[in-house]
Structure 1
């Protein structure tokens, strides 16, 4: 049975509503940086957003009777110029919610010339989830990050370049670690190396020049360390938009540092399959991810 149908069946059999619980601004008092967007935010192609100038989180909390205590912050993809909020965001959150996991969709600000903007949003989002963990029914040691395509680059940035918070800060959020406890990466952009990156994502994030410092900074296969969290990777062999070498190089680096990881390369699926019913074997990745979470003892 298809993944989305399972979500609906779960709701019907249990009577538990699959719905969003709350929306929060990531920077309620104003962000520390600016992407310069002055045009109003708008939908593109009906389900994607662009001109994002204010970061928000959409929280899908599971019913108390099935709540595992785990949570996942979800970063939709879109080449760092739009965000596919549906099949790479809300639909994933609803699936996780039905499995007892809090799904948190992050509508991050797009860079538009400021490469630091998206990563500052995702780190702040993780801190906010930890700061509110008790109130939201979340175990602060079971907070993961997920991302698709360019959102996978953002998620892997959060999972490789992080800090453990500032214990001396008077701000409860700043006290929190922004290190995710695990990662889910769907056909992710990983590198900025022009030989196998997705050039559109690279240009939208760091510009069209050849700034070696920025290329190195955002080539996340080079940022892996023993502290990088356990990672679950999903992609298709026939992906010609974001070459499989992105995920393979990241997986290889994880193994160099003995970081637990699982890599699934499906024969067909192309790019951007998300959590839709595509009629392909890759449709089963959400159930494989749940099995991995159980194997890692993140959920029961």
Structure 2
């Protein structure tokens, strides 16, 4: 990632402000009259590896150049799942764990999380939005340009915790399939930016028990060049050519790795879109990617209760 681009500067400024700002009312709790989603803690007691973390969770709104107003959460030490259940006869037996982005230092909670959860639930999918562990940047934050590989190396400890939370979330969802009316072999994962890197980490896991059954990477990357294991899940990949944060070639590398392994993959690469566009329309061709995702899910039998076709 490049430390000097406007999007990253705005996000880091918002995160640094959050260190001293009081926690605001939850973006879900503040929705008067709206049904409150279920929130589930994923670990019993303190999450392993961050037992010494202190300080309250912080929320604030930031104005980002690409996305507009975004609700940001940081200093998360108690990971949770926010559950969006579909209603009516359209409900399928498919579930998706949603991982927001935020450079492993914060979470774009509404844009990459809650909005995606509602979109999935409206299409019959039970969505579990993961609030994984993140902390505001400290002395290790870059002060100038930074390559994407340097970003991955610098944030590896934070990424390991996020991957642990994602795998635990998968285990929890699969253990509660009867409660949520879902099938244990229809649990997918969608991630955005840093969340997409974690999603690909999970998709590349050698143990099927720790892999999602399908994976969606939105302006993300594989953490390292490696071949997916036999039986790795189908992937759906989205990026923009003009992304200043995560090079679009990283999304191409995911597609190529899956193709070389003879595994199902679909790539949607748009000319314009930048980084952090979420599902918000901006009058660009990239606005249509959720329609392509819906068609992909339908074609794989993941909507409407049909077999996944894996």
TM exceeding 0.5? yes
Question: 2:111 maps to which residue?
Answer: 87
Look up the SS of the partner of 1:45 in the other structure: strand
Q: Tell me, which stretches of 5 or more residues in structure 2 are unaligned?
A: 1-32, 63-70, 136-154, 305-310
CA distance in 1, matches of 2:46, 2:299: 40
How far off its partner does 1:283 sit?
1.3
Structure 2 residue 92 is matched with structure 1 residue 76 = no
User: Which moves more between the two structures, 36-45 or 48-57?
Assistant: 36-45
Q: Of 245, 263, 266, which aligns to 1:241?
A: 245
Task: Give the deviation of 1:222 after TM superposition.
Answer: 1.1
Shift of 1:33: 2.0
| Post-superposition offset of 1:19 | 5.2
Separation in 2, partners of 1:178, 1:133: 16
- Give how far 1:74 is off: 0.4
Q: How far did 1:36 drift?
A: 4.0
Quick one: distance in 2 between partners of 1:114 and 1:239?
23
Question: Which one of 163, 183, 203 corresponds to residue 207 of structure 2?
Answer: 163
8 Å Cα contact 1:225-1:254 kept in structure 2:
no
Cα-Cα RMSD:
1.9
How many angstroms apart in 1 are the aligned matches of 2:163 and 2:41? 16
Choose from 97, 100, 103 the match for 2:121. Answer: 97
Deviation at 1:18, TM superposition (A): 8.3
- 2:44 aligns with one of 15, 20, 28: 28
Counterpart residue number, 2:290: 286
Any residues of structure 2 matched to 1:132-211 within 5 Å, and which? 132-161=176-205, 163-164=207-208, 177-191=209-223
SS of match in other structure, 2:277 = coil
Unpaired stretches in structure 1, ≥5 consecutive residues: 1-16, 165-176, 192-218
Instruction: Indicate whether 1:66 and 2:90 are aligned.
Output: yes
Deviations 1:194-248 (A, max 9, x none): xxxxxxxxxxxxxxxxxxxxxxxxx1x3152222200001111111211011111
- Tell me the equivalent position of 1:3: none
Q: Calculate the TM-score normalised by the size of structure 2.
A: 0.74
- More displaced 10-residue stretch of structure 1: 35-44 or 237-246: 35-44
Q: TM-score, normalised on structure 1?
A: 0.77
Counterpart of 1:49?
73
The count of corresponding residues between Structure 1 and Structure 2 is 244
Give, in whole Å, the separation in 1 of the partners of 2:186 and 2:38: 20
- Asked if structure 1 preserves the Cα contact closer than 8 Å seen for 2:100 and 2:108, the reply is yes
- 2:230 equivalent among 193, 209, 226: 226
1:253 alignment counterpart? 257
